[in-house]
Amino acid sequence: MNTINMFNAKPKDDSNFTVLQDTIMGDVAWVKYTTAYDKTPGIFKLINQDGKWLATARGSKDKSPF
């Protein structure tokens, strides 16, 4: 039942993606965000490569600034 409860009963038309906070440190950026799909804010990491910001997987030792 816990697994079933993790999924939305009703699909939502709008994700309501909202950036709460962002930080750029050299070629690494961190973004804290919320969506309509999860009550807990998420954090993703971006790296600047050849002038483009690319999403990357956070390593287990990566410490976000938030």
| 61 belongs to a structural domain | no
Does 45 reside within a domain? yes
27 in a structural domain:
yes
| Residue 8 domain-assigned (yes or no) | no
Q: What is the mean pLDDT of residues 38-57?
A: 92
Structural domain count, the chain: 1
Q: Tell me, yes or no, whether 19 lies in a domain.
A: yes
On whether residue 2 sits in a domain, the answer given is no
Q: What angle do CA 52, 60, 66 make, to 5 degrees?
A: 65
Q: Is residue 7 part of a domain?
A: no
The helix (run of H) or strand (run of E) holding residue 3 is helix 2-5
Q: Give the type of residue at 62.
A: D
pLDDT in tens, 1-42: 567 666 655 666 788 999 999 999 999 999 999 999 888 999
Query: Residue 25 has what pLDDT?
Result: 93
With the C-alpha atoms ordered 15, 26, 56, 38, is the resulting torsion angle positive or negative?
Answer: negative
Residue 45 domain boundaries: 13-50
From residue 63, give the alpha-carbon distance in Å to each of 3, 29, 47. 28, 12, 14
